[in-house]
Amino acid sequence: MKKINFYILLIILFSVNQIFAQRVLTREESKQLALQNNAKSKNSKLEIEASRQIKKSAFTNYFPNISAGGFMWNAKKSLIEMEMQGGDLPVYDGDPANLGSATQFAYFPSSTIGLLKKGTVGYINAIQPIFTGGRIIYGNKLASLGEDVSELKDKMTEDEILLKTEEQYWLIVSLEEKSRTIKKYEELLNRLLLQVEDAYKSGIVMKNDVLKVKLKLSEVLLNKSKLENGRKLAAMAFCQHIGIPYDSSLVFKDELEIPDLPQSYFVDKNEALKKRVEYSLLEKSVEAEELQTKIKRGEYLPQAGIGVSGMYMKFDESKERTLGMVYGTVSVPISGWWGGSYELQERSIKEEIAENNFKNNSELLLLQIEKAWQDLNDAYKQYLLSEESKAQAEENFKVNEDSYKNGLITVSDLLEAQALLQQTQDQLTEAKANYLVKVTTYLKVTGR
């Protein structure tokens, strides 16, 4: 007896441990995990950081461009050589009158003088741009725009991840609901099989009725296995999506409940359009084309700057020398104006293309919002029809069950009523999940 009690205690402790070991996932927790761990979300954050670095890089163009360099050499021969011929040089006695008729001479031998056999040169140069045709200003605005675009794309990525999380979460919940439905159906068939076998033994029904029930039960068991496999695969895909290890004991807490009517989510599509991330991206694309045109125009305007330069020099055995200077530069790209006029026309065409895309895609976004609203209403109507169908199927099953017990119908009629009940229950489950996904989709396309 003590040994039995010990085993019972072990079973209870094991069961309790299993319950506490289960991880419960809510829909909101799943969405947060997806945003934190999903690879697309991580890459999107990295894209923002990359655009910020580009913006910082563009800002450095406001500051002077500083360069420095130098070189040293020590050649086998001098870089510059001068030959001096030898000869007699008159000796000067101090009297200028005797210089032209000197009678004494000193011999001067021929020689070679070499320069720049070795040397050291170093320099540092700083140029501050004064006017660049606005390219620096517009380049910084374009870089800042790039950061805004990266942030908008990140928001769009988040919306896509959240929508996919909702879809996968409700898929798993609906599969679990279908599993519960098919288990009830299995229990009904098992009870019916016992009844039919007893009736067959009593000679009330034929063996064919027993075979029909067994065949239906085999079909249900096969569908049950498919559902379990489908649920496992869906859970594995969901765990990969939200970035957690797969655990067969995961519990999905949220249930398929219809919270509100479609009218509670409705917003005017024209107001919703301006809240769309895609709409903001279209605006940014037009702005980007305009900035690129201004930058291109700046390439054909005069460029001006001031500079400061310093130099260190030492040649051969001479003393060290340092030089410094301040200078200004002006550059006018005269020869580029002809070809530049065509490039500016190209930029003007691209601006017009961006405007056309903005208008066209804005209209498509309005159509998408309208379609999402219609889909939401259709999903709710489907849910109401499925509720009504389920109620009718339940009533039909009760009538057929009573009729079968009273011998008024065959087992085939009862099996058909059971199958219809299971079908309507599954349809209701799918309708609920579909409606909840359509709610999320409508909120997404209306910028919420």
Per-residue pLDDT at 76: 78
Full DSSP string of 101-133: T---EEEE--EEEEE-SEEEEEEEEEEEEEE-T
| pLDDT 10s digits, 182-241 | 999 999 999 989 988 888 888 887 889 889 989 999 999 999 999 999 999 999 999 999
- Report whether 435 contacts 381 (CB < 8 A): no
Identify the sign of the CA torsion 379, 383, 385, 386.
positive
Q: Does residue 91 have a pLDDT over 70?
A: no
User: Does residue 235 lie in a domain region?
Assistant: yes
Say if CB 173 and CB 53 are below 8 A apart: no
pLDDT digits (tens, 9 = 90+) for 151-189: 999 999 999 999 999 999 999 999 999 999 999 999 999
Average pLDDT, the chain: 87
| CATH number of residue 255's parent domain | 1.20.1600.10
Domain assignment of residue 45, yes or no: yes
- Statement: residue 434 has pLDDT above 90: yes
The pLDDT, as a whole number, for residue 200 is 85
13 located within any domain = no
Q: Is residue 129 part of a domain?
A: no
Tens digit of each residue's pLDDT (9 = 90 or more) over 66-86: 999 988 878 777 777 667 676
Q: Provide the pLDDT for residue 299.
A: 86
Is it the case that residue 441 has pLDDT exceeding 80? yes
% the chain with pLDDT above 90? 56
- Predicted pLDDT at 104: 67
For residue 112, the model assigns a pLDDT of 62
Domain for residue 405, yes or no?
A: yes
In this prediction, residue 16 carries a pLDDT of 40
Q: What is the pLDDT of residue 13?
A: 44
Work out the percent of the chain whose per-residue pLDDT is above 70: 88
User: Tell me, what's the pLDDT at 19?
Assistant: 42
Per DSSP (E only), the strands in 165-233 are none
Q: What are the φ/ψ torsions at residue 317 (nearest 5 degrees)?
A: -105, 10
For residue 45, pLDDT over 80 is answered with: yes
- Binned at pLDDT 50, 70 and 90, residue 14 comes out as very low
Residue 411 covered by a domain = yes
Assess whether pLDDT exceeds 50 at residue 131: yes
The Cα–Cα gap between 256 and 181 comes to: 14
Instruction: Say how many Å lie between the first and final Cα of the chain, rounded.
Output: 64
pLDDT at 117: 78
Helix (H, G, I), strand (E, B) or coil at 322: strand
**pLDDT at residue 49 tops 70:** yes
Residue 5 vs residue 191, higher pLDDT: 191
Q: How confident is the model at residue 137 (pLDDT cuts 50, 70, 90)?
A: very high
Query: Does pLDDT of 336 surpass 90?
Result: no
Domain housing 60: 26-64+134-300+360-445
Using CA atoms, how far apart are residues 226 and 320, in angstroms rounded to an integer?
Answer: 90
Domain presence at residue 257: yes
pLDDT at 113 over 80: no
Number of domains in the chain: 1
The verdict on residue 324 lying in a domain is no
